[in-house]
DNA sequence: AGAGCGCTTGACGTTAACGTAAATGTAACG
DNA sequence: CGTTACATTTACGTTAACGTCAAGCGCTCT
C-alpha cells in the first residue's frame, strides 16, 4: 500500500488536507495555536472526528472574517458547554460580546454599502450624460 | 501668531490632520505612496485643495474596502483622463464589483450572526438549567 | 543497504497600513 | 540667546495567517 489510507477513523495530515483543501502548514499552525488537537502517534499526527468537526467550524469562521483567536474562543464555547456554571457564564458573555461586535460590523457594512450605492448612482448618471452627448 | 494659520488656501499638516481626523504619519505615508502631492515649501508640506479632494476620495475608498494601491490606481486614472468615458466606465464597474463583494460579505455575516445567536440560546438554556438545579 | 517518499520541527520571510522612536531642523516667543 | 513647540527624515516595530526553506527522521520498495 502507498500513502497509508487511514485504517481507523482517523485521517493522516495529507488526507486531512485533501478533505478540507488546506495545506499541511495550516494544520500544524492550527495545532500550534491550539485550535486542533490531533493524536500524536510517535511524531505523526492523526486527526480524529472531533478535529474534523473543529476544522469545519474554523474554516466557516474564517469565511466570516473572524480572527483565529476569536474562533478559538468560539470553539471553546462549542465544546465545553458541559463544564461548571461559572465557566459557562463566562463563555456565554464572551459570545454576547462577539455578537455585539458582529452586529456593529454589520451596521458599518450596511452604511458603506448604502454610500457606495449612492456613488454608483452618480457614476451611472455621469455615464448616461456622456452617452446622451455622444448620441447627439 | 502661533501655529501658522494657513494664510492662503493651503493647509499645514496639522490643519490637514484635524480637518480629516488622520495622523501626520498617515499623510506622510500617503505622500510616500504617491497618493498625495503636497507642495513642498522648503521641507514643509502644504496641502492644496486638490490634496483635500484626493484625501476625501482616499478615505472614502478605504471605507469601501479598497486597498491603498487600488485607490492609487483609480486616482491616477482620473488624473490622466478624468473625463474619459471608458475610464469612468471602468471605475463604475470596479465599484459594482466591490458592491457585490460587500453584499456577499454581509450575507455571510448575517448567517454567522444567526448561527451565533443559536449557540447563545443554547448557552442560555444550559445556564437556566444549571440555575433550576441549584435552586433546589 | 540504498533510494526515495512523506512527515517532522524549527525558524525566518511576507503583506498592509501605519505606529513609534531617534536625531535633527526651524520658526516664533520672551 | 534659550526654550518651547512643532516639523522633518530615517528606519525599525507591529499584527495575522500562513509561506518557504532547511535539515533530519522513519518507512517502504527493490
The answer to whether position B56 is within a domain reads: yes
Do A64 and A98 lie in one domain? The reply is: no
> What is the tens place of the pLDDT at every residue in B84-119?
888 899 999 999 999 999 999 899 889 889 988 998
- Compute the distance between CA of residue B28 and CA of residue B1 in angstroms, rounded to an integer: 25
- What domain range is B40 assigned to? 1-65
Do A40 and A91 lie in one domain? The reply is: no
Q: Strands, E, within A16-124: which ranges?
A: 39-41, 44-46
Q: Which of B41, B32, B34 is nearest to B10 (CA)?
A: B41
CA within 13 Å, CB half, A136:
4
> What is the tens place of the pLDDT at every residue in A67-76?
899 899 888 8
Do A43 and A100 lie in one domain? The reply is: no
> What is the tens place of the pLDDT at every residue in A82-117?
567 887 888 788 788 888 989 999 999 999 999 999
Do A62 and A119 lie in one domain? The reply is: no
The answer to whether position B133 is within a domain reads: no
* Contact yes or no for B74/B89 (Cβ under 8 A): no
The answer to whether position B40 is within a domain reads: yes
- Compute the distance between CA of residue A37 and CA of residue A32 in angstroms, rounded to an integer: 9
Do A1 and A67 lie in one domain? The reply is: yes
Number of domains in chain A: 2
> What is the tens place of the pLDDT at every residue in A36-75?
999 998 889 999 999 999 999 899 888 767 889 989 988 8
Do A53 and A39 lie in one domain? The reply is: yes
The verdict on a CB contact (< 8 Å) between A99 and B117 is yes
Nearest CA in chain B to A105: B109
**Residue-level pLDDT at B80:** 79
Do A45 and A92 lie in one domain? The reply is: no
**Residue-level pLDDT at A90:** 81
The verdict on a CB contact (< 8 Å) between B126 and A88 is yes
- In B 36-55, which Cβ lie closer than 7 Å to strand C? 42-43
- How many of the other CB atoms lie within 10 Å of CB of B5? 9
Nearest CA in chain B to A112: B64
| DSSP secondary structure, B50-96, as one string | HHHHHHHHHHHHHHTT--HHHHHHHHHHHHHHTT-HHHHHHHHHHHH
Task: Answer positive or negative: Cα dihedral of A42, A44, A50, A51.
Answer: positive
The answer to whether position B76 is within a domain reads: no
Cα B16 from chain centroid (whole Å): 16
Q: Phi/psi class of residue B36: alpha, beta or left (left: φ > 0; alpha: ψ in -120 to 50)?
A: beta
Q: Which grid cell is A79?
A: 465544546
> What is the tens place of the pLDDT at every residue in B25-49?
999 999 999 999 999 988 899 999 9
Whether nucleic acid strand C comes within 7 Å of the CB of A28, the answer is: yes
Q: CATH number for the domain including A62? A: 1.10.1660.10
The verdict on a CB contact (< 8 Å) between B112 and A77 is no
Do A106 and A132 lie in one domain? The reply is: yes
Do A47 and A89 lie in one domain? The reply is: no
Q: Which grid cell is B89?
A: 466606465
Do A55 and A114 lie in one domain? The reply is: no
Q: Which of A53, A103, A73, A94 is nearest to B123 (CA)?
A: A94
Do A31 and A2 lie in one domain? The reply is: yes
- Confidence class for position A2, pLDDT limits 50, 70, 90: very low
Among A35, A60, A79, which residue terminates a domain? A79
Amino acid at each position: 500500500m502507498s500513502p497509508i489510507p487511514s485504517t481507523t477513523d482517523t485521517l493522516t495530515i495529507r488526507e486531512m488536507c485533501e478533505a478540507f483543501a488546506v495545506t499541511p502548514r495550516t494544520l500544524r499552525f492550527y495545532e500550534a495555536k491550539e485550535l486542533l488537537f490531533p493524536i500524536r502517534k510517535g511524531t505523526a499526527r492523526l486527526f480524529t472526528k472531533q478535529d474534523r468537526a473543529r476544522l469545519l467550524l474554523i474554516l466557516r469562521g474564517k469565511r466570516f472574517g473572524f480572527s483565529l483567536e476569536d474562533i478559538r474562543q468560539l470553539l471553546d464555547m462549542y465544546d465545553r458547554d458541559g463544564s461548571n456554571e461559572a465557566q459557562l457564564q463566562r463563555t456565554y458573555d464572551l459570545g454576547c460580546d462577539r455578537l455585539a461586535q458582529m452586529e456593529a460590523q454589520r451596521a458599518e457594512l450596511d452604511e458603506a454599502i448604502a454610500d457606495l450605492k449612492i456613488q454608483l448612482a452618480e457614476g451611472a448618471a455621469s455615464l448616461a450624460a456622456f452617452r446622451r452627448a455622444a448620441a447627439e
